[in-house]
Amino acid sequence: MSEPSAAAAPPRELRTLARGGTLNTVGFAIAGLLGFVLTVVVTREVGSSGAGVFFSAIAVFTILTQVAKLGADTGIVRFVSAYLARGQVRDVAPAIRIAVVPAALGGLVAAIVAIGLAGPTAAVFARDRTDDVADLLRLLGPYLPFATVSVVVLAATRAYSMRPFVAIESVGKPALKPALIVALGVGGLTTGELALGWGLPEALGCAAAVVALVALVRGTPVPPDAPAPRPIRELASEFWRFAAPRGLAAAFQVSVFWVDVLLLGRYRPSSEVGAYAAASRVAMVGTFALQAIRIAIAPTISALLARDERAEAQTVYQTATWWLIALSWPVFLGLAIFAPFVLSIFGPGFGIGATSLTILAIAMLVNLGTGNVTVVLLMGGKSSWNLVNTAVAVTTNVSLNLLLIPRFGMEGAAVAWAVTIVVENVMALVEVWVFLGMRPFGPGYLPVTTAALVCVGGVALVARALFGPDGAGFVVAVVVAVPLYGAVLWRLRERLHLDLFLAALRRSGGGDDG
């Protein structure tokens, strides 16, 4: 296999990535902020023990959603993008039905499981307040089909436009959840109100997603020379050969994100689960740039690889990685260095998670430093490789959690997750590099990582040493680091193609979003 050359991708491809990436970055930044607000609202309303109950139930809900969608979301992005790139417009609508119907049935089965096995599930994963966890699971169960269908339908819209995804998933649902919980919690928040505040936005988001997708599909003209639609059996076989391994891998992947919370609940009191869940959710909030670029890059990489334009695909991958580091490394360096201050925002009892947050934030630097390596692997058609990677990751994660949590508690859970992040990303990086001939580094990698480490990490460490790890040190670090880092990025803007990103940011209110 020939290695991609160093030739730059056509400006059109990078402009498409910049438009989609900018829109998604704004959307996911809003979603990250709103997710942080949701965590603060819940923890302030119910305390660390109640937060443990809530996040334990949400962990089960999220895992069941990922299992129920059967990998259809990743499959629909890859195939609809490829069909549109090759002019196979008549295959799009059948492919969407092939993806959505099984996912809807999967969501229904997941709801039955969540409701029917709420008691036994809570008994396994909750050391205390078992009845509260079971009640919340039963109340959340009916919303599982809506959440599952919403994920798949919004994935299909991404092949056309990023706007529906940003409007519904990044802004609409995250804004509605804390608002509803606050409104319902006046005078005290019951379990039923907590479930309604979380679940109702999922149902409303599902309805909005279906309307948006129907409009996009019907609004796409069919060229007179478009190939005739292929037989449903052929489309379904092609689709599910790819999606099925990804479905299992996604179940493993989301288990890695949440199994630590569940296992911590088995061995530790709910107050410690709540503190750790707050820390780990803050770490996930900081991945807004990774998620934003992932959503934007997947259709672009799929289309380029469908046309066998591998050199251009590598350039897009590398550029996206530089943007990821530029946007996200400062966030995680700040979280690692000022973890005590960040967790103090949630109220009394949450500061015990500071060490865990520092460990997870450092691990996320590795996660983001490899770029959207899993997306490249998947859009290259290697869902079976991804399945192997995630199987190894979940095995590593569960084993380390069982070994470390009983002895070290939440710090053990954080170490287990950190090791898992490194293992999974290194495996995917080696596969993409060796077998697909693509790598995330390129000429902009060292400059952008050095800028983040020196201008943000170095300044933050000095500020903490001089002014402490609380609000005073944090404010000083922000005041000094932000303009310094911004000035360095400005000097590097052409090398990192940030000029395209900034131009797209200025135009983000209009134009095609790619």
Residues 285-302: tens digit of each pLDDT: 767 666 667 766 777 777
Q: How many C-alpha atoms does 296 have within 13 Å on its Cβ side?
A: 36
pLDDT top residue among 204 and 348: 204
| Confidence grade of residue 4 (pLDDT, cut at 50, 70, 90) | very low
With respect to residue 406, please indicate whether it lies within any of the assigned structural domains.
yes
How many structural domains does the chain have? 1
Closest CA to 263 of 113, 115, 398, 61: 398
What is the pLDDT, as a whole number, of residue 219?
A: 86
What is the pLDDT, as a whole number, of residue 337?
A: 95
pLDDT top residue among 304 and 486: 486
What is the pLDDT, as a whole number, of residue 36?
A: 76
What is the pLDDT, as a whole number, of residue 17?
A: 60
Alpha-carbon distance values, 137 to 38, 116, 143, 494 (Å): 19, 10, 10, 51
* Residue 136 pLDDT greater than 50, yes or no: yes
Q: What is the mean pLDDT of residues 65-92?
A: 86
With respect to residue 487, please indicate whether it lies within any of the assigned structural domains.
no
Number of neighbours of residue 274 by Cβ within 10 angstroms = 30
What is the pLDDT, as a whole number, of residue 147?
A: 95
Which tokens sit at 210?
């279906």
With respect to residue 513, please indicate whether it lies within any of the assigned structural domains.
no
Mean per-residue pLDDT of the chain: 83
User: What are 225-253's pLDDT values in tens digits?
Assistant: 888 888 999 999 988 988 887 777 777 77
Domain that holds residue 360: 18-444+492-506
Alpha-carbon distance values, 361 to 306, 328, 331 (Å): 36, 11, 9
Share of the chain above pLDDT 70, in %: 89
Do 417 and 260 contact (CB within 8 A), yes or no?
A: yes
pLDDT top residue among 25 and 213: 213
With respect to residue 285, please indicate whether it lies within any of the assigned structural domains.
yes
Q: What is the mean pLDDT of residues 8-15?
A: 54
Closest CA to 360 of 402, 278, 398, 415: 415
With respect to residue 453, please indicate whether it lies within any of the assigned structural domains.
no
With respect to residue 467, please indicate whether it lies within any of the assigned structural domains.
no
Give the distance from CA 281 to its chain's centroid: 11
Do 338 and 477 contact (CB within 8 A), yes or no?
A: yes
User: What are 144-154's pLDDT values in tens digits?
Assistant: 999 999 999 99
What is the pLDDT, as a whole number, of residue 292?
A: 67
What is the pLDDT, as a whole number, of residue 514?
A: 37
Cα 32 from Cα 287, distance rounded (Å) = 8
User: What are 396-425's pLDDT values in tens digits?
Assistant: 999 999 999 999 999 999 999 999 999 988
Q: Which among 12-21, 300-309, 345-354 has the top mean pLDDT?
A: 345-354
DSSP assignment string, 301-334: HHHHHHTT-HHHHHHHHHHHHHHHHHHHHHHHHH
User: What are 344-399's pLDDT values in tens digits?
Assistant: 888 777 888 899 999 999 999 988 888 888 888 877 777 778 788 888 988 999 99
What is the pLDDT, as a whole number, of residue 51?
A: 78
What is the pLDDT, as a whole number, of residue 295?
A: 66
* Residue 180 pLDDT greater than 50, yes or no: yes
User: What are 87-112's pLDDT values in tens digits?
Assistant: 888 888 999 999 999 999 999 999 99
Q: Outline where 409-458 has alpha helix (H).
A: 410-435, 445-451
User: What are 461-503's pLDDT values in tens digits?
Assistant: 999 999 998 889 999 999 999 999 999 999 998 888 877 666 6
| Confidence grade of residue 275 (pLDDT, cut at 50, 70, 90) | confident
What is the pLDDT, as a whole number, of residue 433?
A: 84
Residue with tokens 């809900």: 61
The model's pTM is: 0.67
Please tell me the chain's helix, strand, coil percentages from 3-state DSSP, rounded to the nearest 5.
Answer: 80, 0, 20
With respect to residue 119, please indicate whether it lies within any of the assigned structural domains.
yes
Give the distance from CA 233 to its chain's centroid: 32
Cα 323 from Cα 327, distance rounded (Å) = 6
* Residue 317 pLDDT greater than 50, yes or no: yes
Cα 488 from Cα 269, distance rounded (Å) = 46
Do 390 and 252 contact (CB within 8 A), yes or no?
A: yes
382 secondary structure, DSSP code: -
Helix (H) or strand (E) holding 513: none
With respect to residue 471, please indicate whether it lies within any of the assigned structural domains.
no
